[in-house]
């Protein structure tokens, strides 16, 4: 953990603390990350509770975890993996699919292969030893795969476990970077998907027998593929994705929640909404708890005197209750304040940030989409899912939840909708 999570005392340091891709790792001693803020009514508690409930040995829990881009899914998955109660019941493995495959060209076979590969590699890397008979079976399978696909590891390993670990690592790299090898591997696995699932299950069962805990796989960034890929993986091949005997939390693309195919995962779905800043239909009335949450999000990263109070309120509104959008607003505002030679952020810096973000959308929104946004602004209804889905994906529309879910236009776009009306 190289980054120091320290509250900034000057604007230059503030710039680092609002990095859009800053991972909020759980601290080595198990303490929550100093920058972490728990959102009101956090539904991740229900995910943890569901994982801790008894389940049949033959039906390990599977969940589909979603939320809009930048809402904090990765941070919450890290916390689930580090939860002591979860660790007492499970042997958790948290990884991002981006390290194992190409998220823009993803296939269900890639996901299954990555599960088996990461389970094996992480168990070995942590000093775990698997039965020799299992290693021989896996090595025989590796040999059959390499008869059809050339996967030559750069690592010279003498023991079987080392060879298998190197095989999984090299194959993952090729799946990610080499389209030809990726296609070949998929063809090999397509001949016997059952055998690929069996490999995952052999590794899972062996780890469970050794550790007396069921492996729990939490896969991040599976929400990055577009709706077409998400449908192919989680709808068309749903039954295969439920076959591994390890517990799994799949992240899934939020547009899948607005499509008819959602029915296939409804009973196992958990959605992480944005932080609500005002009641539905009342944009001028503040949600006290929502503002308090985002204000805390900022103050954990920077001293309060580095931003004018009215500028902070404006920034909270501009961020729309989305953590990553809040970071984006703050970063632009910090840069503007530094360029002007100021030692704190003023309202004009936040207004500049809002204009910059608005300009990005001005380039890409169609006239039809602007009309849809005007309807959303007026009614706050999640309707016309086929038309609303891409707007939700690009964060032009933001979803919130009381007892029922509703939506509103990204706050910085309100001025945009008044143009040419």
pLDDT score at 420: 61
**Three-class HEC string of the chain:** CCCCCCCECCHHHHHHHCCCCCCCCCCCCCCCCCCCCCCCCCCHHHHHHHHHCCCCCCCCCEEEEEECCCCCHHHHHHHHHHCHHHHHHEEEEEEEHHHCCCCCCCCHHHHHHHHHHHHHHHHHHCCCCCCHHHHHHHHHHHHHHHHHCCCCCCCCCCCHHHHHHHHHHHHHHHHHHCHHHHHHHHHHHHHCHHHHHHHHHHHHHHHHHHHCCEEEEEEECCCCCCHHHHHHHHCCCHHHHCCCCCEEEEECCHHHHHCHHHHHCHHHEEEECCCCCCCCCCCCCCCHHHHHHHHHHHHCCECHHHECHHHHHHHHHHHCCCHHHHHHHHHHHHHHHHHCCCCCECHHHHHHHHHHHHHHHHHHCCHHHHHHHHHHHHHCCCCCHHHHHHHHHCCCEEEEECCCEEEEECHHHHHHHCCCC
Q: Check pLDDT > 90 for residue 285.
A: yes
Share of residues in the chain with pLDDT > 90 (%): 71
**What pLDDT band is residue 317 in, cutting at 50, 70 and 90?**
very high
The pTM of the full predicted model, rounded to 2 decimals, is 0.90
pLDDT score at 60: 93
Q: Check pLDDT > 80 for residue 419.
A: no
pLDDT score at 258: 78
Q: How far apart are CA 250 and CA 224, in angstroms?
A: 12
CB 270 within 8 A of CB 262: no
pLDDT of 342-370, one tens digit each? Answer: 999 999 999 999 999 999 999 999 999 99
CB 92 within 8 A of CB 38: no
Q: Which of 329, 323, 290, 322 is nearest to 14 (CA)?
A: 329
Higher pLDDT, 386 or 213: 213
List C-alpha distances in Å: 106 to 5, 223, 367: 34, 11, 32
Q: How far apart are CA 208 and CA 189, in angstroms?
A: 25
Q: How far apart are CA 118 and CA 200, in angstroms?
A: 10
**What pLDDT band is residue 1 in, cutting at 50, 70 and 90?**
low
pLDDT score at 158: 57
Q: Check pLDDT > 90 for residue 340.
A: yes
The pairing of beta strand 397-401 with beta strand 405-409: antiparallel
**What pLDDT band is residue 43 in, cutting at 50, 70 and 90?**
confident
Higher pLDDT, 297 or 46: 297
Which tokens hold the place of 271?
A: 């959605």
**What pLDDT band is residue 116 in, cutting at 50, 70 and 90?**
very high
pLDDT score at 31: 83
pLDDT score at 255: 79
pLDDT of 150-198, one tens digit each? Answer: 776 554 455 888 889 999 999 999 999 999 999 999 999 988 899 999 9
- Phi and psi at residue 84, to the nearest 5°: -55, -35
pLDDT score at 421: 52
pLDDT of 223-273, one tens digit each? Answer: 888 888 989 999 999 999 999 999 999 999 887 887 888 888 888 899 888
Q: At what angle do helices 193-211 and 132-148 cross, to 10 degrees?
A: 160
pLDDT score at 267: 85
| Mean pLDDT estimate for the chain | 91
Q: How many C-beta atoms lie closer than 10 Å to residue 296's C-beta?
A: 12
CB-based burial label for 102 (10 Å; 0-12, 13-18, 19+):
middle
pLDDT of 62-75, one tens digit each? Answer: 999 988 888 889 99
Higher pLDDT, 421 or 332: 332
pLDDT score at 402: 76
CB 219 within 8 A of CB 115: yes
Q: How far apart are CA 338 and CA 132, in angstroms?
A: 61
pLDDT of 70-114, one tens digit each? Answer: 888 999 999 999 999 999 999 999 999 999 999 999 999 999 999
CB 275 within 8 A of CB 293: yes
Q: How far apart are CA 113 and CA 181, in angstroms?
A: 14
Q: Which of 205, 23, 193 is nearest to 123 (CA)?
A: 205
**What pLDDT band is residue 29 in, cutting at 50, 70 and 90?**
confident
Q: How far apart are CA 199 and CA 236, in angstroms?
A: 22
Which tokens hold the place of 287?
A: 């949600």
List C-alpha distances in Å: 63 to 94, 150, 329: 14, 35, 32
pLDDT score at 39: 85
pLDDT score at 152: 63
């Amino acid at each position: 953990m190289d980054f120091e999570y320290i509250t900034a005392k000057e604007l230059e340091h503030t710039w680092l603390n609002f990095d859009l891709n800053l991972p909020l790792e759980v601290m080595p001693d198990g303490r929550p990350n100093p920058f972490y803020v728990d959102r009101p009514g956090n539904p991740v508690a229900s995910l943890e509770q569901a994982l801790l409930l008894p389940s049949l040995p033959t039906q390990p829990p599977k969940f589909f975890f979603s939320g809009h881009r930048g809402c904090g899914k990765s941070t919450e998955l890290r916390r689930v993996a580090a939860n002591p109660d979860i660790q007492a019941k499970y042997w958790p493995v948290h990884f991002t699919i981006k390290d194992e495959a190409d998220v823009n060209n993803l296939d269900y076979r890639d996901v299954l292969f990555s599960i088996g590969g990461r389970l094996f590699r992480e168990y070995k890397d942590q000093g775990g030893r698997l039965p020799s008979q299992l290693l021989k079976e896996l090595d025989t399978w590796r040999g059959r795969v390499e008869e059809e696909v050339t996967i030559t590891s750069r690592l010279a390993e003498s023991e079987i476990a080392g060879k298998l670990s190197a095989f999984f690592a090299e194959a993952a790299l090729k799946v990610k970077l080499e389209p030809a090898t990726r296609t070949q591997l998929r063809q090999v696995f397509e001949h016997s998907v059952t055998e690929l699932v069996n490999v995952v299950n052999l590794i899972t069962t062996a780890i469970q027998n050794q550790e007396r805990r069921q492996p729990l796989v939490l896969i991040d960034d599976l929400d990055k593929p577009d709706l077409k890929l998400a449908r192919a993986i989680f709808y068309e091949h749903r039954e295969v994705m439920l076959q591994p005997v390890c517990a799994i939390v799949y992240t899934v693309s939020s547009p899948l929640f607005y499509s008819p195919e959602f029915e296939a995962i409804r009973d196992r779905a958990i959605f992480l909404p944005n932080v609500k800043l005002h009641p539905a239909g009342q944009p001028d009335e503040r949600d006290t708890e929502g503002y308090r949450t985002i204000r805390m999000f900022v103050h954990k990263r920077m001293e309060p005197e580095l931003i004018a109070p009215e500028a902070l309120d404006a920034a909270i509104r501009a961020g729309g209750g989305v953590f990553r959008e809040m970071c984006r607003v703050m970063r632009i505002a910090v840069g503007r304040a530094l360029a002007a030679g100021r030692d704190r952020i003023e309202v004009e810096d936040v207004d500049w940030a809002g204009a910059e973000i608005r300009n990005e959308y001005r380039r890409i929104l169609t006239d039809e989409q602007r009309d849809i946004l005007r309807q959303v602004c007026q009614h706050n209804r999640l309707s016309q899912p086929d038309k609303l889905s891409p707007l939700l994906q690009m964060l032009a529309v933001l979803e919130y939840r009381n007892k029922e879910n509703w939506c509103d236009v990204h706050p910085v776009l309100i001025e945009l909708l008044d143009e040419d009306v």
